[in-house]
A and B are shown apart, each in its own frame.
Chain A
Amino acid sequence: MITLNVNGKSMKVDTDPGTPLLWVLRDHLQLTGTKYGCGIAQCGACTVHLDGRAVRSCVTPVSMANGRQVTTIEGLAETVLGKTVQSAWQDIDVPQCGYCQSGQIMAATALLQENPAPSAAEISTAMDGILCRCGTYNRIRSAIDAAAAELKGAAK
């Protein structure tokens, strides 16, 4: 039995400890906002936060999350940062098909958590692992810049 804390709620899951966190979130907990894209940490659609840091849930065994804080897109709006990033995404109309966007938003939020004023190059590095086939990268950059500016304004 694995004990997980997902989006602030404690949950017990009966599964093989080697099962990737992604499939526990989706198949066991029906938290479907976290997406399957490649299964080998190449596309980032499955990005979630483990103790606040971005991880690829498709290659993270659920045993590694035992007793730790997992945040998914469904729980992101609980923080000011998460909410700010989501609303920047909405203002700029970033998503097209939208399938990769949970991963994009989770990666962007983790970046801003660590680095509230990232440079263009730092944004490129942080976001390079999250693929988008619809070509929303420039809007993602604009949304990260807008969220950073909003948070800076709010902090003053």
Chain B
Amino acid sequence: MKTPQAPGRRKFLKDSVALAGGLVIGFTLPLKGGRAWAADTPVAPVYPPNAFIRIGLDDSITIIVNKSEMGQGVYTSLPMLIAEELEADWSRIRVESAPVAVVYNHTSFGMQLTGGSSSIPSSWEQMRRVGASARVLLVRAAASLWSVPESECHAENSRVLHANSGQSLSYGALATAAAKLELPQDVDLKSAADFKLIGKSVKRLDTPEKVTGRAQYGLDVYLPGMLTVLVARSPVFGGKVRSFDATEARKVPGVQGVYQVPTGVAVAASGFWPAKTARELLEIVWDEGVGATLSTKGMREQYRALAKTPGLSARREGDAGGILEAAQQVIRADYEVPYLAHAAMEPLNVVVDLKPDQCTIWTGTQSQTMDHAMAAKTAGLLPEQVKIHTTFLGGGFGRRANPRSDFVIEAVQVALVVKKPVKVVWTREDDMRGGYYRPMWVDSVAGAIGQDGKPVAWRHTIVGQSIVADTPFESFMTHDGIDATSVEGAANLPYSIPNIEVGLHSPKNVVPVQWWRSVGHSHTAFVVETMMDELAHQAGQDEVQYRLALLEKSPRHAGVLKLAADKSGWGKAKLPAGHALGVAVHQSFDSVVAEIAEVSIEGGKVRVHRVVCAVDCGMVVNPDGVRQQVESAVVFGLSAALHGEISLDKGRVLQSNFHDYTPLRFSEMPKVEVHIVESHDRPTGIGEPGTPPIAPAVANALFKLTGKRLRQLPIDRATLA
């Protein structure tokens, strides 16, 4: 996704007060043990200075978070931004998920969406202004009550104080008076030197719920009279039901009905187990369509042939073709990476309560606005008749921001025929075989080096499906036929090379594809950074020094590379016999990360012992949060690099569950060190940038151990002898 830009101040203030002006939003707890959801009946007088803050008369402060919590810590980091400027007592902060409303739109995407590593960058100013404007009102209310100048009052720890008279009042006590005041047109923000919370490692607010089993995910929502529904979907992408026989399925105790829906055959039952048992007894004849001829093997041949031709130009400087033709030292290499499933620990699921004039949805989504619009359209209701409650997400990684709202639309279609509250549950197998994968990519690169060893020409041809093609995102993310996410990390190669060509082919097929943590960077970093290593080796130079010499115009790249080299003991530390270090550096989502991996081969298996990460993500809001995200991104990338592969034969996905699509396990976990570059620049993304460098860092270390270049992933597929 595109990097967000800072919104205009004026626009922000206009949006943020859309729900103010006397509208009181109350909250109730409709579900047993559930989180609080927005409801229509107020339970206590409250003060909403804006759509993001509610101050209770009991001094409680509720922050309404407009980003989905999928592990990345937004239920802590966004409240920190507000609390900093609000001068709030952090111990009294609680969090609720935002309903769907324009005021909660992403500041640059223009819709409610969590993705693109953009939550902090896009909220950095917005949330601080939200906090500051509420603080101004509370101070103003106190000054007015005491008949003293505002300038003599200050706010601290959820109280307004007047030092001269020694008077003070809590925010709760001031809430009612403050609610009558008009929001300020503009506010001043603190300078970084005055931050009390920002920059400190603050404990996550969601941890207590998550260690006691109280945290509510979509799968944990139970409504009275609700049925659990499993859908039998086509074994081949794009296939349709021709006919089905549900005689045996209907005999399973607990089964309430079997229905044909657009995506397949839905079994509704009193619980998961009867629904699953019955689904296995369905006899369905499918019209499989063209998808039945697809195989990974065939696609590989098609893609490799395409990679030999130039494609659409994503970047062209100088005359790479001519130089490559004439150069003495040229390396040509072909790369291939597979389809990848997100495989979040919580399989997809949606609860829908559909009434004639109202549709209420509970789900862990990253894409509220689009899901909301598609749910309304599917249900035949007006947008204001549809509500979405965003639960905790048991992992997202991009899958839960589906540009086609696939899982939400299907659940509403199910609710339309079942005519009772439904929970549509995807089994692990459904989730794994349900598509919307990171695309399979084939890349071809040719690099030439000159007398001094430096690269003089670089030609990179990329082949793979566009993830935004035929989606609402296509119009603004594709230009001149180039999907920006297909070439990100390749077209903006940071190295100084005088002649560069980057070309793209975007073949289409029926396999649904989607963003997967770090999107296009997940393959371009592997290709670019292993090729840079080859060029360094060809030039007979140290891989870190070689890169640094080409990064004079990219100081952030150079900074993290030096830091990672220093902390890992690159070129200095004595490694155990059979161990080697590999390096990679990559920029994504405006942050730059260098990683150095210490790797060995034990009994034919690759073992990653230690990963040293150096990160430049601008100013840091919650340092431990940044460390968590980088640790997580490394593991996500390493799982894919070592083991991850979705493949097809006769249109069928060959993998189905965690025995054949294996995330990294506990015993494989390397030590991960995260070093953060001190920066005073505005914050940049952190959820994804740790993922791209790990695959090339490991591959480059393996070259040192084996003398063979690894150009295909996963590493499990390679012969390492």
Contacts of B33 in A (CB 8 A): 30, 32
* B345→A37 contact, CB < 8 A: yes
A135→B671 CA distance, assembly (Å): 11
Given A99-B395, A131-B658, A134-B71: A19 and B273 interface contact (C-beta under 8 Å): yes
* B204→A95 contact, CB < 8 A: yes
A residues 1-46 in Cβ contact with B at 8 Å: 16, 19-20, 23, 26-28, 30-40, 42-43, 45
- Interface bin, chain B: 35 or more
* A34→B213 contact, CB < 8 A: yes
- CB nearest to A88 among chain B residues: B211
Given A93-B204, A95-B204, A133-B663: A33 and B212 interface contact (C-beta under 8 Å): yes
B543 close to chain A: CB less than 8 A:
no
A100→B675 CA distance, assembly (Å): 27
A80 to chain B, nearest CB (A): 16
B623 to chain A, nearest CB (A): 12
A28 to chain B, nearest CB (A): 7
* A16→B212 contact, CB < 8 A: no
Find the residue from B274, B347, B396, B666 having the highest chain A CB count within 10 A. B666
* B273→A27 contact, CB < 8 A: yes
Query: Secondary structure of the B side of the interface?
Result: loop
A118→B644 CA distance, assembly (Å): 31
Given A99-B345, A124-B666: A32 and B392 interface contact (C-beta under 8 Å): no
B351 to chain A, nearest CB (A): 12
* A42→B392 contact, CB < 8 A: no
* B32→A30 contact, CB < 8 A: yes
Find the residue from A42, A128, A137 having the highest chain B CB count within 10 A. A137
B residues 606-643 in Cβ contact with A at 8 Å: 624, 628, 631-636, 639
* A138→B669 contact, CB < 8 A: yes
B655 close to chain A: CB less than 8 A:
no
B339 to chain A, nearest CB (A): 17
Contacts of B206 in A (CB 8 A): 95, 98
A90→B32 CA distance, assembly (Å): 24
Given A98-B392, A136-B632: A105 and B211 interface contact (C-beta under 8 Å): yes
Given A37-B428, A73-B212: A27 and B345 interface contact (C-beta under 8 Å): no
Compute the total of residue contacts between A and B using a CB distance below 8 Å: 179
Query: Secondary structure of the A side of the interface?
Result: loop
B residues 536-583 in Cβ contact with A at 8 Å: none
A residues 71-119 in Cβ contact with B at 8 Å: 72-74, 76-77, 86, 89-90, 93-102, 105
B280 to chain A, nearest CB (A): 12
Given A95-B206, A97-B392: A135 and B632 interface contact (C-beta under 8 Å): yes
Other-chain residue from A27, A33, A93, A131 in contact with B628 (beta carbon distance below 8 A): A93
Q: What string of 1s and 0s marks CB contacts (under 8 Å) between B64-93 and chain A?
A: 000000111100000000000000000000
* B207→A95 contact, CB < 8 A: yes
A140→B286 CA distance, assembly (Å): 46
B94 to chain A, nearest CB (A): 16
* B273→A20 contact, CB < 8 A: yes
* B347→A36 contact, CB < 8 A: yes
A141 to chain B, nearest CB (A): 8
A74→B213 CA distance, assembly (Å): 6
Given A39-B428, A40-B657: A97 and B71 interface contact (C-beta under 8 Å): yes
- CB nearest to B634 among chain A residues: A135
Given A40-B659, A131-B665: A33 and B207 interface contact (C-beta under 8 Å): no
Given A90-B207, A97-B393, A131-B345: A35 and B219 interface contact (C-beta under 8 Å): yes
A132 close to chain B: CB less than 8 A:
yes
A138→B210 CA distance, assembly (Å): 17
A73 to chain B, nearest CB (A): 4
B395 to chain A, nearest CB (A): 5
Given A96-B72, A133-B663: A73 and B213 interface contact (C-beta under 8 Å): yes
Contacts of B27 in A (CB 8 A): none
Contacts of A28 in B (CB 8 A): 271
Q: Closest 9 interchain pairs by CB?
A: A33-B213, A135-B635, A99-B394, A97-B71, A98-B210, A96-B71, A73-B213, A27-B271, A32-B220
Residue numbers of A with Cβ under 8 A of B are: 16, 19-20, 23, 26-28, 30-40, 42-43, 45, 72-74, 76-77, 86, 89-90, 93-102, 105, 123-125, 127-141
10 pairs across A/B with beta carbons < 8 Å? A30-B222, A36-B219, A86-B212, A97-B70, A97-B346, A98-B392, A124-B666, A135-B672, A137-B664, A138-B672
Q: For the A-B complex with A90-B211, A135-B631 known, give 5 more contacts whose Cβ atoms are closer than 8 Å.
A: A40-B659, A93-B204, A95-B206, A124-B666, A133-B397
